[in-house]
Structures are given as C-alpha cells and as structure tokens.
Chains A and B, each alone.
Chain A
Amino acid sequence: MYDAIKGLQAYLAASQLAWLFITLVAYLIGCWVYQRARQHQLANPMLVALLLIGAMLWLTQVDYQNYFDGAQFLHFLLGPVTVLLAVPLYKTLQRVRQSALPLAVALPTGSLLAALPALGIASWLGASDGVMRALAAKSVTTPIALGITESLGGLTAITAVVVVFTGVLSVIISGLVFRLFRVHSAQAQGFALGLTAHGIGIGRAAQINETAAAFAGVAMGFNGLMTALWAPLLVPWIVGS
C-alpha cells in the first residue's frame, strides 16, 4: 500500500496530463460554485479553483514547479489572449469615439492614481520589494499584469492574487466612493470601474447599463497598455532596482 502511494506520488509529480486535468476540473467546480452563489464575488471562480488546487498540491506533496510544468499549456495561452484583448477594445472603441478628449485626460490620471498611492502606502507600511513590484499592476487586467510584473522582476503569483483582491474590493467600495465624490454619470462610473477594477469592474458596469460597460472596456484595455508603458520606467526608480 505504501509503495502504491509512493508510486502515485511519483506519477503525479511527473505527469503533465494529471495537473492539466485537475486544473480544468477545479476551474469547472469554481464556475459551478460561482453560479450557485449567485455570482457573488467572494465565490469568484478563480479563488475557489485556487483553493482546490492548493489543497491537492498539499495532499500529494507535489512541488509548485512540478505542477506548473503540467499546467503550463494553459499559462501559454495568456500571451495570445492578451493580443486578442484588441478585439473587445476595438468593438467598444467605436462607441466611445466622441469622448476622446475626456478619455485622454482621465486615462493617465487614473492609471497613475490606481498604482502610485498603492506603492507609497505599501512602502510606508513596510511591504517587501517583491510585493511592491506586484502592486504596481494591481488595477491591470491579469494577462497584462502578469507580463508587467515579469518585466519588473516582481512575484507574478502575488500579482495574480493582488489583481483579484483589487477587483473585488474596488467593486465593493465603488458605490460609496461614487456617492462621496458625487460621480453620477453612467459613463464616468463605467470608465472608473474598468480602469480600477479591470474585468470585475466591467462586470459591475454591465449592471449599470451598456454605455457604462463600453466605457469600462475601453478603460480596462487602455489602462493595461498605459501601465505597461510607464511601470517599467517609473517603478524601478521608486522601488529601487
């Protein structure tokens, strides 16, 4: 029996198929839980899948590196999917063209505000280098955020979690913030949500109306692009290289 368990462990450590399969099933369970929880963000499919896979790794005592070797086929898709973000961006761009000037002003303002205060506060509260580099991309949609963190030399695993935290927390506080700042227009709320809370913000904006969702989509796409441009220049200068 003991030999069989050892053998199974060795198989799991080396098997690509097993971890690809486990990842897919964990994700499907995550989606199911999310639907059952009426799409409550705390039951976010990624968080649920993450817990399940983490538990499997802990139970089987398989290293993260072995897991990643198996699941890297999915990781590879992040690249092409980032390129494909041009498609929703193109679609929504058509609908917000007449607001080009306000967008051009709001975009750099928001992009910097979504990241720089976070770096300042994290540094003040004694966060480590790897975490600060991950926080720079906190409001950016995950595929782009992972690329940015990689080029900054931060911890991509932390980025992925920070990005989801940001999306969930921002959507939760958004109602209060919009009341506080007296932001009433649907376009303004949508744009702010997409810029700050990426895909999760678009989901919230879609509940407001279609215009808000279109503005959110454009904000998410361009904030990803903008952060990818300024972060590699500013962040090493702030955090130290």
Chain B
Amino acid sequence: MLIWIAIVLGMQFIGELAATLLGLPVPGPVIGMVLLLLLLLHIGHLPTALEQLATGLLRHLYLYYLPATVGVTAHLALVGTELLPIVTAIIVSSTLALGVTGLVIQSLTRQKDQPDV
C-alpha cells in the first residue's frame, strides 16, 4: 500500500514538474492521472493494494472539495446577482451535451445493438 502511495504522489510530482518546467497549462495532477493510467495499461492488471487505496480515498470525494467550496460564502453576493446567467448557461449547454453526445454514441453503435432501456 505504502509503495502505491509513493507512486501516486510521484506521478503527481512528475506531472506538476512537467507542467511548470514545460509551461503546460494542463493541471499537474491530470498529467499524473494519465501517467498512472499508462502504467496500469503497461502492467496489464490492477494491483490489489492500489485498488484498495483508490476505493478508500475515492469513496469520500466530496469531503476534499469542501475547503475550496466553502470559499463560495465569500462570493455569495456574486452568485446571487449572477444566478440567472449561471443556471441558464448550465441548463442549455447540458441539454445539448446530453442529447447530442447520446445521439452520436447511439447512431455509431447501432450495428451491434445492445438491449434498449
């Protein structure tokens, strides 16, 4: 388990170094995610210790968002005055994304039909 904690932190570290040194705009941890995915594809299976680490930590994702999210209390006035643009923007673009993405997948996979719901 400890070795996987080291590997995960190492991947993040390499990602952040790469982002800083090469001036990449992509967040370092996202580069780390790609590196870990490549490592897993290379190994060809999922080590039990890594799976346990991921399951344990990912179960309470919301908890880690809280410190950043609480900052919204400092921006309540902003969210209040811009609630209409925010909600309208979300509903329209989500409708398009849900509908069009669904249609693309559905029409391109039609040949090998799966049972419909």
Chain A contacts to B: CB under 8 angstroms: 23-24, 26-27, 30, 44-46, 49-50, 53-54, 57-58, 64, 67-68, 71-72, 74-75, 77-91, 93, 98-99, 101-103, 105-106, 109-110, 113-119, 121-122, 125-128, 130-131, 135, 138-139, 142-144, 146-148, 150-151, 155-162, 165-166, 169-170, 173-174, 177-178, 180-189, 191-193, 195-197, 199, 208-209, 211-212, 215, 219, 221, 224-225, 228-229, 232-233
Contact = CB atoms under 8 A, between A and B. Distances in A.
A27 B94 contact: no
A119 B106 CA distance: 27
Interface of B: 5, 8-9, 11-12, 15, 25-30, 32-37, 40-41, 46, 50-51, 53-54, 57-58, 60-75, 78-79, 82, 84-106, 108-109, 112-117
> Would you call the interface of chain B mostly helix, strand, loop, or mixed?
helix
A152 B67 CA distance: 19
Contacts of A182: 103
A90 B25 contact: no
Contacts of B85: 121-122, 125-127, 131
Contacts of A101: 108
A199 B58 CA distance: 11
A103 B105 contact: yes
A81 B56 CA distance: 10
Interface centre among B58, B79, B88, B96 (most CB of A within 10 A): B96
B27 A150 contact: yes
